[in-house]
């Protein structure tokens, strides 16, 4: 049996200890979960394995013999492929061009161009259910949604025919059916003795796919466990510690005000990606957007935020018609958006954490300034960082130095002082750890307690069940179904998304 064993892995970034003498033993044929809160060192360890980060110290052994991995090419040579947390695709190239790009210098790079093309087509055919029939090899990646892009990323790693595969939040924005497809392929890989490292903040994915798991916290190994012999609550405790574990998994509470007039309505709203959408949002309610991802959920949120201008229909706020053709107007009207792709829209990566928290958007900046003096900005930012347990070195460090989940918390934190009436969230807990998820959920509850209406898109059915008072199911830009209260169950969500009457299938066993 082949093994890839990492010991004594240490890495510091200035004053931040990302990894401290960490170890991981990956066996061929297993899926090994790598768990831990945001900023615990998972990606750092993965990047050491794949040659993207040079550690201060590490020993790596392949089948008992030491190997050196100084750069990505070294990892390729040893048959190690990885899917990183942040997407690596080139948006203006096609699906096929992106796949070819990934194979340079990799195992599949040794295939003849004809064989390689054939292999690409085989892989795309197999992944088609996760991409949809309209995605062709010559489709531009810029036209794909985040979940579809992740499916392509997975295909790119698969094409390298690896012996060891690292999946670092490779499923974070995938919908359940895409996850199931990827899991099927991963199981075929492990049957062929490939060893897989799997990182996901969705616990049910880890429990479904992995046999063992190694838990990191603050760059240190906490434990390595056989998942068969570990209860869910033990695992959560290992990950976040006793204190936070108490707060995870609380029951649904509604703050919907019965008989209230709608704070926001749309009537036959049309815009790019949506048509004839009519909905009402009431003070204090949490409305989820369900359905397969990429059915217009993000377009709808962007449209209400004025970033995807309406081409038809009406929007009212507090009963009066409004024109939301620019984000500035939406912000003035009291609408806040937490975008899905924090890289593009949510954060100014090179700016400091402080600036990001105090800046709602360039458009909203002047507005916020009227509420907050400069000195107050800093103390507000400090409070937000504390309230959401954002792990930072200093408020003045760039956002790009934060771990993925901590970046997402900054995006959400920056809206908190703005007193919105309606909060739009686009897949808000993507890549966020269980402890932080609980914190984000309690923020949503605190907002609704103050009468704020929340409309959120989620690729995670469990999140819809836990948070939403109602779920509007979208299909091809329309709202095709509505589930209320007790009706919001996993099987009802799957059935509504796929537009079938019922679906007895659970997550793959």
Ligand X SMILES: Nc1ncnc2c1ncn2[C@@H]1O[C@H](COP(=O)(O)OP(=O)(O)OP(=O)(O)O)[C@@H](O)[C@H]1O
Report if residue 295 touches Mg ion, rule: CB under 5 A. Answer: no
Bridge partners, residue 287, by sequence: 455, 470
End-to-end CA, the chain: 25
Answer for which of 171, 403, 458, 459 binds ligand X (CB under 6 A) is 403
Interface map 406-435 toward ligand X (x if CB under 6 A)? x--------------------------x--
Measured between alpha carbons, how far is residue 179 from residues 170, 176, 503 in Å? 9, 5, 17
Report if residue 353 touches ligand X, rule: CB under 6 A. Answer: no
Interface map 2-41 toward Mg ion (x if CB under 5 A)? ----------------------------------------
Quote the least distance from Cβ 176 to ligand X, whole Å.
21
State the angle between helix axes of 404-413 and 374-387 in degrees (0 to 180), rounded to the nearest 10. 130
For residues 2 and 16, which CB has a smaller minimum distance to ligand X in the complex? 16
For residues 429 and 457, which CB has a smaller minimum distance to ligand X in the complex? 429
From Mg ion, ligand X, none, interface partner of 402 (C-beta below 5 to 8 A by class):
ligand X
Quote the least distance from Cβ 319 to ligand X, whole Å.
42
Q: What residues between 280 and 309 interact with ligand X by CB under 6 A?
A: none
Measured between alpha carbons, how far is residue 431 from residues 40, 251, 369 in Å? 13, 22, 31
State the angle between helix axes of 113-131 and 146-159 in degrees (0 to 180), rounded to the nearest 10. 150
Quote the least distance from Cβ 17 to ligand X, whole Å.
8
From Mg ion, ligand X, none, interface partner of 155 (C-beta below 5 to 8 A by class):
none
By CB under 6 A, how many residues form the interface with ligand X?
20
Interface map 66-85 toward ligand X (x if CB under 6 A)? -------------------x
Q: What residues between 309 and 348 interact with ligand X by CB under 6 A?
A: none
Quote the CA–CA distance of 428 and 411 in Å, as a whole number: 9
Quote the CA–CA distance of 88 and 66 in Å, as a whole number: 29
For 443, which DSSP code? H
Answer for which of 9, 22, 31, 40 binds ligand X (CB under 6 A) is 40
From ligand X, Mg ion, none, interface partner of 13 (C-beta below 5 to 8 A by class):
ligand X
Answer for which of 26, 31, 43, 279 binds ligand X (CB under 6 A) is 43
Answer for which of 10, 40, 43, 297 binds Mg ion (CB under 5 A) is 43
Report if residue 401 touches ligand X, rule: CB under 6 A. Answer: yes
Strands (E), 14-98: 16-27, 31-35, 57-62, 65-67, 80-83
By CB under 5 A, how many residues form the interface with Mg ion?
4
By the 8 A CB rule, do 70 and 76 touch? no
Q: Would strands 274-281 and 264-271 be described as parallel, antiparallel, or unpaired?
A: antiparallel
For residues 214 and 358, which CB has a smaller minimum distance to ligand X in the complex? 214
Report if residue 404 touches Mg ion, rule: CB under 5 A. Answer: yes
Quote the least distance from Cβ 332 to ligand X, whole Å.
33
Quote the CA–CA distance of 11 and 216 in Å, as a whole number: 14
For residues 85 and 384, which CB has a smaller minimum distance to ligand X in the complex? 85
DSSP run (H or E) holding 479: strand 478-484
For residues 152 and 410, which CB has a smaller minimum distance to ligand X in the complex? 410
Interface map 433-472 toward ligand X (x if CB under 6 A)? x---------------------------------------
For residues 50 and 85, which CB has a smaller minimum distance to Mg ion in the complex? 85
Report if residue 173 touches ligand X, rule: CB under 6 A. Answer: no
**461 exposed, middle or buried (CB, 10 Å; 0-12, 13-18, 19+)?**
buried
Answer for which of 402, 413, 438, 440 binds ligand X (CB under 6 A) is 402
By the 8 A CB rule, do 331 and 371 touch? no
Give Rg (Cα) of the chain.
23
From Mg ion, ligand X, none, interface partner of 18 (C-beta below 5 to 8 A by class):
ligand X
Report if residue 391 touches ligand X, rule: CB under 6 A. Answer: yes
For residues 42 and 282, which CB has a smaller minimum distance to Mg ion in the complex? 42
For 284, which DSSP code? T
436 Ramachandran zone, left/alpha/beta (phi>0; psi -120 to 50): alpha
| H helices present in 21-78, as ranges | 42-49, 72-77
By the 8 A CB rule, do 154 and 182 touch? yes
By the 8 A CB rule, do 155 and 109 touch? no
Quote the CA–CA distance of 75 and 50 in Å, as a whole number: 5
Write out the two tokens for 355: 């600036």
For residues 13 and 110, which CB has a smaller minimum distance to ligand X in the complex? 13
Binding positions for ligand X, rule: CB under 6 A: 13, 16, 18, 36, 38-44, 85, 391, 401-406, 433
Binding positions for Mg ion, rule: CB under 5 A: 42-43, 85, 404
């Amino acid at each position: 049996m082949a093994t890839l064993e990492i010991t004594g892995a240490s890495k510091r970034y200035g004053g931040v200890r990302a990894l401290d003498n960490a170890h991981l033993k990956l066996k061929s044929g297993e899926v090994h979960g790598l768990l831990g809160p945001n900023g615990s060192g998972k990606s750092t360890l993965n990047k050491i394995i794949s040659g993207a980060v040079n550690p201060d110290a590490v020993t790596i052994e392949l089948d008992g013999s030491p190997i050196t991995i100084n750069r990505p090419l070294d990892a390729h040579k040893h048959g190690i492929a990885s899917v990183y947390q942040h997407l690596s695709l080139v948006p203006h190239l096609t699906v096929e061009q992106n796949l070819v790009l990934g194979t340079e210098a990799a195992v599949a790079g040794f295939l003849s161009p004809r064989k390689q093309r054939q292999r690409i087509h085989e892989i795309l055919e197999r992944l088609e259910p996760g991409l949809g029939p309209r995605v062709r090899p010559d489709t531009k990646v810029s036209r794909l949604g985040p979940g579809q892009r992740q499916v392509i990323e997975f295909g790119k790693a698969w094409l390298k025919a690896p012996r060891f595969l690292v999946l670092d939040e490779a499923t974070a924005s995938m919908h359940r059916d895409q996850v199931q497809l990827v899991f099927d392929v991963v199981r075929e890989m492990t049957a062929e003795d490939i060893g897989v490292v799997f990182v996901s903040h969705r616990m049910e994915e880890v429990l479904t796919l992995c046999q063992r798991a190694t838990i990191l916290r603050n760059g240190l190994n906490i434990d390595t466990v056989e998942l068969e012999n570990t209860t869910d609550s033990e695992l959560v405790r290992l990950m976040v510690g006793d204190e936070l574990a108490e707060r995870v998994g609380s029951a649904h509470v509604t703050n919907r005000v019965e008989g209230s007039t709608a704070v926001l309505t749309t009537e036959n709203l049309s815009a790019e990606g949506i048509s004839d959408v009519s909905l009402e949002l009431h003070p204090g309610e949490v409305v989820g957007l369900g359905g397969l991802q990429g059915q217009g959920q993000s377009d709808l949120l962007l449209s209400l935020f004025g970033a995807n201008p309406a081409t038809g229909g009406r929007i009212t706020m507090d009963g009066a018609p409004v024109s939301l053709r620019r984000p500035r107007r939406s912000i003035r009207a009291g609408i806040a958006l937490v975008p899905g792709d924090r890289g593009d829209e949510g954060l100014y990566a090179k700016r400091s954490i402080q600036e990001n928290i105090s800046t709602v958007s360039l458009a909203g900046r002047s507005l916020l300034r009227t509420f907050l003096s400069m000195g107050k900005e800093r103390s507000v930012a400090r409070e937000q960082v504390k309230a959401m347990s954002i792990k930072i070195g200093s408020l003045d460090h760039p956002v790009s130095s934060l771990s993925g989940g901590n970046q997402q918390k900054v995006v959400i934190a920056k809206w908190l002082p703005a007193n919105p009436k309606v909060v739009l969230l686009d897949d808000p807990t993507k890549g966020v750890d269980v402890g932080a998820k609980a914190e984000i959920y309690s923020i949503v509850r605190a907002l609704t307690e103050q009468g704020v209406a929340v409309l959120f898109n989620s690729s995670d059915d469990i999140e819809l069940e836990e948070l939403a008072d109602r779920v509007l199911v979208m299909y091809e830009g329309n709202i095709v179904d509505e589930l209320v209260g007790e009706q919001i169950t996993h099987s009802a969500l799957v059935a509504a998304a796929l537009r079938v009457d019922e679906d007895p299938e659970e997550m793959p066993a």
